[in-house]
Structure 1
Amino acid sequence: MKLENFAAKYFAMSDDVWARHANPWSVWTRYSCLPLLLACLWWRDALQGWFWPLLVVLVLWIWFNPRCFKKPLTTESWASQSVLGERILIYQRDKVAAHHTPVLSVITSLLTIFTALCVAGLFFHEPISTCMGALGLILTKTWFLDRMVWIYRETTSQPLTTHT
């Protein structure tokens, strides 16, 4: 899980930032990042001089998003627990049960495949590959977040039947 450690360090995820990112608004608005980034890259030629400023704004939004929301009053929501589970995976890997490893390997493989498909679609300006890659990325990321909820609940002895 070196990639997650790199990402956490690159995004300067302090304890305060992780707590703010556990706000469901942060999680759900983060879903907007990939489609907006892909749209910017897809229409790069049409945007001409606007491409770089828009790309910079999007990258800043990706960095700023976990910081711009208040800490949640409760962490009972699925979205909050997905962030807390991810934090456990990154910083307390030894607490994660071994039965999660094969699934996380499949998720990582799928994310790699869908990223490659999306990048190839963007490079060749091919809409089917781009859209299928993007859809695969979003669905696989959602699966990853759901697995993080499972890890969080299992690690903290939260019941898996809690309503979120």
Structure 2
Amino acid sequence: MRIDKAIESVMMMDDPTWARHASPWSFWTRVPLLALFALAVWSRVWIGWWSLVPIGLVLVWTLVNPRAFSPPATLDNWASQVVLGERCWLARKTKPIPAHHAKAAMILSLLSGLSIIPLAYGLWVLDAWAVFAGAMLASVFKLWFGDRMAWLWADMADRPETERSGAQQT
């Protein structure tokens, strides 16, 4: 199973949840989650095992967030288009996407994933610079990925439905 599909499954994302997740409020309140998670893990230095409370709160918010807001009144904003593009990305096996988007998205996903290495190392050995560098790099690559998803959505929305579904035009 692809990791992105596994995450979608764990998050229990269905059509109504995706519609709510397309809210800019949902998108923008997820952006700081990695930094908040790092801070929650780091809090073990100050509050010991009680750090499990903020860690748990961040994890619960991660699961609740896509359901916490109403669907947006309009989808013509960047944050909503990121979410719509992400749905196209996740459905790429059944509804092919342009190759240039697939390649760029894979590279950005890889770079974002690799950025977790210095973050995890920094949290393990309590190196604030490694945590900062890893969190910032992962966030930058994730936002860049998001921008690519908005671009993908724009390209997919411009294509005829028959082409978007992978059917051949005659």
- State TM-score, norm by structure 2: 0.88
Moved more, 42-51 or 108-117: 42-51
Instruction: Rate the CA distance shift 1:117–1:59 in 2: closer, same or farther, 3 A.
Output: same
Choose 1 or 2 for highest CA Rg.
Answer: 2
Paired residue for 1:12?
A: 12
CA–CA distance in structure 2, aligned partners of residues 49 and 72 of structure 1: 39
Q: Percent identity?
A: 32
Letter in 2 for 1:108: S
Paired residue for 1:74?
A: 74
- 2:86 aligned with 1:86, yes or no? yes
Does the 8 A contact of 2:109 with 2:142 survive in 1? no
CA–CA distance in structure 1, aligned partners of residues 109 and 14 of structure 2: 24
Q: How does 1:88-107 map to 2 (within 5 A)?
A: 88-93=88-93, 94-107=95-108
Letter in 1 for 2:130: S
Moved more, 138-147 or 91-100: 91-100
CA–CA distance in structure 2, aligned partners of residues 12 and 91 of structure 1: 15
Q: Secondary structure at the match of 1:95?
A: coil
Paired residue for 1:123?
A: 124
CA–CA distance in structure 2, aligned partners of residues 40 and 109 of structure 1: 25
Structure 2 segments unaligned to the other structure (5+ residues): 160-170
Offset at 1:25?
A: 0.3
Q: Secondary structure at the match of 2:120?
A: helix
CA–CA distance in structure 1, aligned partners of residues 136 and 68 of structure 2: 26
Paired residue for 1:59?
A: 59
CA–CA distance in structure 1, aligned partners of residues 119 and 49 of structure 2: 24
Offset at 1:14?
A: 0.6
Number of residue-to-residue matches in the alignment:
158
Paired residue for 1:33?
A: 33
- State TM-score, norm by structure 1: 0.91
Letter in 2 for 1:62: T
Offset at 1:58?
A: 1.1
CA–CA distance in structure 2, aligned partners of residues 110 and 120 of structure 1: 16
Letter in 2 for 1:25: W
Offset at 1:131?
A: 0.3
CA root-mean-square deviation: 1.4
Offset at 1:141?
A: 0.5
Q: Secondary structure at the match of 1:136?
A: helix
